Structure 1
Amino acid sequence: MRIDKYLWSTRYFKTRNIATQSCKKGHVKINGHVCKPGREVFPMDEITVRKNQIDYRLTVLDIPESRVGAKLVDIYRKDTTPKEAFQHNELLQYSKDYYRKKGTGRPTKKDRREIEDYLAPSDEVKKKTSEK
């Protein structure tokens, strides 16, 4: 079975076209080598898929006839993705929360003044610089 069809049938990608594009971009590796979408997959192959900033690692156990249900996916593959990959993704989500919320737009005049007050030196430093 082709690698793009295998990844689609084991539900790593929603459509086969997305799986094909991922292979063309070099996000899919079989046994450590970048592969084309038409590359055949055999049992016991080690596949690495880069998706959503996570490197998923899986071992092919068997080849499905067609797309399988979510409950039956474990029959055809063994997921060996390390937990550190998922923890790293969570840390990235926390770092994004530090910045302004999406959709809030440009700062208002009030927001700008608050930012300037926060970034401005304290009153003691202002007095010392004005005396000189």
Structure 2
Amino acid sequence: MSAGRDDAAADAGSQRLDKWLWAARFFKTRPLAVEAINGGKVQVDGQRVKPGRAIRPGTRLTIHKGELEWRIEVLGIAKQRRPAAEAMLLYTEDEASRLRRQDMVRERREAGSTPSPEHGRPTKRDRRRIGEFIGRER
């Protein structure tokens, strides 16, 4: 029976990767975190892992979300999801990673990358033009 208690004590300073990513607010839900991990978007110490992988303070993670990338080191474990200000205390980001990510966000903002009007539903103006083209009256 004491072996079970020893395992619990050893795991007291660790947490499942998917739960930690959710608690640290990298993903809005745990299923989204699991999907990213299974898709290879999250790496632990440079290797693909499963969502149940136990992480501890000192573990290095690489997280890809879209075009953005975070290279972080785990500083703490949180069993509950807390406010964003507290979640930021759970990790520290590599300075080069932070600068690269900020540059990408700034470039995207300056380029004005908004969805082009050609995609998605036609606007009211487009619908009127289509109606005129096919011979429908207003």
Counterpart mapping for 1:79-118 below 5 A: 79-80=93-94, 81-92=97-108, 94=111, 96=113, 100=117, 102=119, 105=122
| Identity across matched positions, percent | 26
Following the alignment from structure 1 to structure 2, what is the Cα–Cα distance between the partners of residues 61 and 102? 43
In the alignment, which residue of structure 1 is the partner of 2:46? 32
CA pair 100-74 structure 1, distance change in 2 beyond 3 A:
closer
In the alignment, which residue of structure 2 is the partner of 1:45? 59
Unmatched 5+ residue regions in structure 1? 110-132
Give the letter aligned to residue 47 of structure 1. L
Unmatched 5+ residue regions in structure 2? 1-14, 131-138
- Tell me which moved more, 89-98 or 60-69: 89-98
Radius of gyration: which is bigger?
1
Following the alignment from structure 2 to structure 1, what is the Cα–Cα distance between the partners of residues 40 and 61? 12
How far off its partner does 1:82 sit? 2.9
Give the letter aligned to residue 23 of structure 2. S
Per-residue CA deviation, residues 3-58 of structure 1 (Å, 9 max, x unaligned), is: 00000011110000100010000000011111111111011111111012111111
Which of the residues 6, 9, 30 maps onto 2:23?
Answer: 9
User: Segments of 4+ in structure 1 off by > 4 A?
Assistant: 97-106
SS in structure 1 of the partner of residue 55 of structure 2: coil
Following the alignment from structure 1 to structure 2, what is the Cα–Cα distance between the partners of residues 78 and 58? 6
In the alignment, which residue of structure 1 is the partner of 2:72? 58
Give the RMSD, CA atoms, in angstroms. Answer: 2.6
Following the alignment from structure 2 to structure 1, what is the Cα–Cα distance between the partners of residues 84 and 101? 22
Following the alignment from structure 1 to structure 2, what is the Cα–Cα distance between the partners of residues 79 and 98? 30
* Count of residues paired in the alignment: 109
CA pair 62-53 structure 1, distance change in 2 beyond 3 A:
same
Following the alignment from structure 1 to structure 2, what is the Cα–Cα distance between the partners of residues 97 and 70? 27
TM-score (structure 1 length as normaliser): 0.69
Following the alignment from structure 2 to structure 1, what is the Cα–Cα distance between the partners of residues 30 and 104? 28
Following the alignment from structure 1 to structure 2, what is the Cα–Cα distance between the partners of residues 75 and 95? 32
**1:54 and 1:86 in contact (8 A); partners too:** no
